[in-house]
Amino acid sequence: VNEALRRLAIGLAVVGLGVASYLTYIHYRGIESVCAIAHGCEQVQTSEWSKLLGVPVALLGLIGYVSLLGALIVDGEAGRLAAVTFAWTGAAFSAYLTYREIFTIDAICIWCVISAFLMADLTVLTTIRFLRAPQARGPAGPPAAAA
């Protein structure tokens, strides 16, 4: 089951990586995104919340998905812990940006919504995977139960 969760999470992270790559590309090219809601993406893209400390949030998303993908590819306790940490951080940041879109910018960027949903799904998957994984034991503890 954990392997299935990992593969599903990798699939979602690849999709997220695609979305973030596209948003980063259009940010640096200075072009409008293909957007289903009239000019919503443009308004979000050009708002002051489209950057954090001068770094485009699209690029931060790209870095986040690359990190998450890397953590998912690395099996073991460290990988699981890193994946769940990246996913929760990404989800918290997505929640903040969605709040800004709805209540401050007053516009919705469909690509950001897709990314937020992907990150929420990844958070659920990595959390379940983390909680279900066998507990790592320290050297002084009893040996891990045989499979």
Partner 1 sequence: MSRKAQLAAVVAAAAVIVVAAVLIAGGSSDKKPPKKRAGEVIPGQTAARSLFAGIPEHGVTLGNPNAKVTMLEFADLQCPACREYTLTVFPDVVKNYVRTGKVKVRFIPLTVISKDSNVAWSYAAGAAQQNKLWNFADLTYINQGQEGTHWVTPLRMRQIARGVTGLDFSRMAAYAATPAAREALGAANTQAGIYGLSSTPSLLVSFGNAYKKLPSFDYQTVSSALDAAASE
Contact with partner 1 (CB under 8 A): which of 8, 47, 113, 117?
47
Distance (Å) of CA 45 to CA 29, 73, 105, 138: 12, 31, 10, 48
With CB under 8 A as the contact rule, which of the stretches 2-10, 12-20, 52-60, 66-74 interacts with partner 1?
A: 52-60
> Phi then psi for 33, rounded to 5 degrees?
-85, 160
Place of tokens 């997220």: 16
The three-state secondary structure class of 107 is coil
Within positions 82 to 111, which residues make up the interface with partner 1, using CB under 8 A?
Answer: 84-85, 88-89, 91-93, 96, 100, 104-106
Q: Where are the alpha helices (DSSP H) in the chain?
A: 2-29, 40-45, 57-73, 77-100, 110-132
Angle at 73 between CA 116 and CA 138, to 5 degrees: 105
With CB under 8 A as the contact rule, which of the stretches 8-16, 30-38, 63-71, 108-116 interacts with partner 1?
A: 30-38
Place of tokens 């994984």: 133
Measure the CA–CA gap between 107 and 32, rounded to whole angstroms: 15
Q: Does 53 contact partner 1 by CB under 8 A?
A: yes
Q: Does 1 contact partner 1 by CB under 8 A?
A: no
With CB under 8 A as the contact rule, which of the stretches 9-17, 46-54, 61-69, 111-119 interacts with partner 1?
A: 46-54
Smallest distance, Å, CB 108 to partner 1? 13
What is the binding site for partner 1 (CB under 8 A)? Answer: 30-32, 39, 42-43, 45-49, 51-54, 81, 84-85, 88-89, 91-93, 96, 100, 104-106, 127, 130-131, 133, 135
